[in-house]
Amino acid sequence: MTLRYRQPGVVLTDHRFTVPLDHADPGGETIELYAREVVASDKADRDLPWLLYLQGGPGMPAHRFVGRQAWLERALSEFRVLLLDQRGTGASTPANPQTLPLRGGPAEQADYLTRFRADSIVRDCEAIRPLLTGGAPWTVLGQSFGGFCTVAYLSLAPEGLAAALITGGLPSLHAHADDVYRAAYPRMERKVAAHYARYPQDVERVRRIAEHLLRHDVELPGGHRLTAEAFQSLGAMLGSGDGSHRLHFLLEDAFVLPTPDGLQLSDAFLEQVRQTLTYVSHPLYAVLHEAIYAQDDRPTAWSAERVRAEFPQFDAGRALEEGEAVLLTGETVHPWLFDCDPALRPLREAAEVLAARTEWTPLYDPRRLAANEVPVAAAVYHDDLYVDTGHALETARAIRGLRTWVTDEFEHDGVRAGGTRVLDRLLALVRDEA
């Protein structure tokens, strides 16, 4: 039974679908998918085209909007929107430290998780599309990793798409994870330099915090170990439009004095850091993050960690010794995360198996993309912290008919922060109205 209910200005309907765990074995084990339908209150009974939203990630459920927030305002003017909790996330059959032991040991857990990449997500979408649209193609809006899924959709099942809209999510079709991170670390350095130029007082604040963490064992509430490297990963905040400002406010009251033990990081600071760094709500993000780039017989082998060694300027101890600014990092996953974060510790061995895996199926079909007939538009954010602009533009040229909007007006979260503007622009591009 579907459940229908209301929020201000919208009517919501909960949907649950049963799909194969492995679409190559349709008679085998099944999992459940959850999706929330959203339609404008004054259009609830109309026959409207569908727009499927694919969230960034990997391992993130669809955003829980209230009413017509962000891009929904524009989408609801003409679409019935489906917010899908991708397999393993949100209210879909969960894949997390509490459920994965049911699969067996680390090898079995890792094998199970290989079915949670973009190709399986696309086949999930194709399984549920006829049940909702009656077989009609739908428009897909893919944000970040959702854009990776959208490019996989164009490769695997373009017949299911009326149009494809991508925001901050054009992946390289060929790059190994090593290539992704070799391009990423210089971007991280540029973003940190821009932050320090805006807030020069943060140079010394970051140095003091890093020095304290190198000299003391610090535990966050809940048992999370805060090392200097873990602290540096707060640089991921710089990928959002307001991230530099939020980072500055986080840093300004880091220490408390006097205390019986002298200078200490404040409880308030540590709690805010814990909330920012923990993977408790999205463990698949850490476990599968490098696997989203794997397509051949090369293991990812903790790519971000290995490539980081090629950029010694990110070594906090070295920076302190040489009197340099301590650099922060970005969207990278490292093996030490699985020791620092209690939410990830049970998945460490499965993550090791995935990092060593050498049998990965291709996610994209360059030949099919070169012959694409689906209207496609992509917002490419100039110097995006999370997705390399060079890789994105190379892929844009490889997809027939794709139109790009390259802008430095937004950071990676432009589709959220930009309200109706980003979606409106992409729709105009696929309709040749801009």
pLDDT digits (tens, 9 = 90+) for 326-363: 999 989 999 999 999 999 999 999 999 999 999 999 99
Examine the domain organization and report whether 161 and 204 are in the same domain. Answer: no
Instruction: Provide the edge-to-edge strand list for the sheet that holds 403-407.
Output: 3-7, 10-20, 30-40, 80-85, 50-54, 138-143, 161-167, 376-381, 403-407
- Reading the block at residue 76, the tokens are 């609801």
Tell me the pTM: 0.96
Report how far apart, in Å, the C-alpha atoms of 411 and of each of 198, 218, 242, 406 are. Answer: 16, 32, 9, 11
Same domain, 184 and 308: yes
pLDDT attached to residue 258: 82
**Do 243 and 265 share a domain, yes or no?**
yes
Contact 408, 395 (CB under 8 A): no
Residue whose C-alpha is closest to residue 407's, from 375, 434, 383? 383
3-state secondary structure of 258: coil
Contact 313, 190 (CB under 8 A): no
Q: How do residues 77-114 score in pLDDT, each as one tens digit?
A: 999 999 999 999 999 999 999 999 999 999 999 999 99
End residue of a domain, out of 356, 387, 412? 356
Co-location of 131 and 148 in the same domain:
yes
Report residue 1's pLDDT band, with 50, 70 and 90 as the boundaries.
low
Both 147 and 207 in one domain: the answer is no
Preceding omega of 346 cis (within 30 degrees of 0): no
Rounded to an integer, the average pLDDT of 179-185 is: 97
Average pLDDT, the chain: 96
| Phi, psi (degrees; rounded to nearest 5) at 174 | -130, -20
198 and 308 belong to one structural domain: yes
Report residue 138's pLDDT band, with 50, 70 and 90 as the boundaries. very high
Q: In which band, very low, low, confident or very high, does the pLDDT at 410 lie, cut at 50, 70 and 90? A: very high
pLDDT per residue over 27-48, tens digit each?
999 999 999 999 999 999 999 9
Name the residue range of residue 344's domain.
177-356
Residue with tokens 């040489």: 322
> Of 356, 378, 408, at which residue does a domain stop?
356
Single out the residue in 339, 356, 373 at which a domain terminates: 356
Buried b (16+ CB within 10 A) or exposed e, 291-314: bbbbbeeebbebbbbebbeebeeb
List, by residue number, the catalytic residues: 144, 384, 412
| Closest among 405, 391, 387 to 57, alpha carbons compared | 387
What pLDDT is attached to residue 261?
A: 80
pLDDT value at residue 263: 85
pLDDT for residue 212:
97
On whether both 129 and 163 belong to a single domain, the answer is yes
Rounded to whole angstroms, the maximal C-alpha distance in the chain is 69
Tokens in use for 387?
């997705």
